[in-house]
Amino acid sequence: MAAQLTRRTWTRIGVTVLLAEAFMACTMVLGNLVFPTDAIIDLSRMIAGDHYAENQTPRLHSEGRVATTLHLLPSLVFVLVGIAQLWPKLRRRKYRPWHRWLGRTFIVTAILSSLTGMYMSIRLNYTGWDEIIPSFLFGTALVAFCTMGWIRARQRDFPAHQEWMILALASGLGITLARIYLMLLTSVTGQEATEFFGSIFWMGSGSNVVLALIWLGVRRRMDQKDLEIRKRGRKERALGSVRS
């Protein structure tokens, strides 16, 4: 029972972190979609400093408005669907058709978000190759995680399917951490966003994927330990019945 409670608590910790990141991601996306450009520039100045707010933000919301919108809309759906898929009830038999269709939506929006993000890193580049390389790397990783999740589902290896999809969600939510890192670095050092913009992609998505891997690894060990305890209990009960 203690092992089950520990596992449940550990699961809640991971889900809570993903929910918090998802809330911040949705807030940022909706803000960029709904607020007027002047308000977005003011918010960008708080997060990324004057240089980014005065040079990059107007580009994203004027000449790059279409590309930005085409990136933000699938990203918003990706986050909302990904969080919904964490709800255990969706994996019950009567809800499985919903789970499957939401999973397909998750994969499609992940691909769209990745492709448009890669395009923006070239078309609306801010700092050069140090921005392009991690954008392409983590965009490709997101598609690869979703592909592996789909393959495992087709093979009916559902525990592995869930793990790959959690990695995909964590990877996609890494941009939320990237913005937090950027705000901290610019405010603490007093330097402009150009000094850190490439690094925050590695820090945001990279740290999120590493944390997800650690979380999944610990959860898997808990499951294995719980399985061993149940096997030992069944063996002891079987021996007890033979002796009696």
Query: pLDDT tens string for the chain (244 positions)?
Result: 444 557 788 888 999 999 999 999 999 999 999 999 999 999 999 888 899 999 999 999 988 999 999 999 999 999 999 999 988 887 787 888 888 999 999 999 999 999 999 999 999 999 899 999 999 999 999 999 999 999 999 999 999 999 999 999 999 999 888 989 999 998 898 888 999 888 999 999 999 999 999 999 998 888 888 777 777 767 766 666 655 5
- Comparing CA positions, the residue from 65, 58, 49, 61 lying closest to residue 197 is 49
- Comparing CA positions, the residue from 187, 219, 180 lying closest to residue 203 is 180
What pLDDT, on the 0 to 100 scale, is given for residue 241? 63
What pLDDT, on the 0 to 100 scale, is given for residue 232? 74
Residue 210 domain-assigned (yes or no):
yes
Q: How many CB atoms lie within 10 A of CB 65?
A: 12
Full-model pTM: 0.88
Residue 209 domain-assigned (yes or no):
yes
Residue 127 domain-assigned (yes or no):
yes
Residue 34 domain-assigned (yes or no):
yes
> How many domains would you assign to the chain?
1
C-alpha distances in Å from residue 148, one per residue of 89, 102, 152, 153, 165: 23, 16, 6, 9, 8
Q: 78 near 113, Cβ under 8 Å?
A: yes
Residue 242 domain-assigned (yes or no):
no
Residue 6 domain-assigned (yes or no):
yes
- The domain containing residue 141 runs over which residues? 2-234
What pLDDT, on the 0 to 100 scale, is given for residue 97? 87
Identity of residue 54: E
Residue 241 domain-assigned (yes or no):
no
Residue 244 domain-assigned (yes or no):
no
- Comparing CA positions, the residue from 127, 108, 116 lying closest to residue 72 is 116
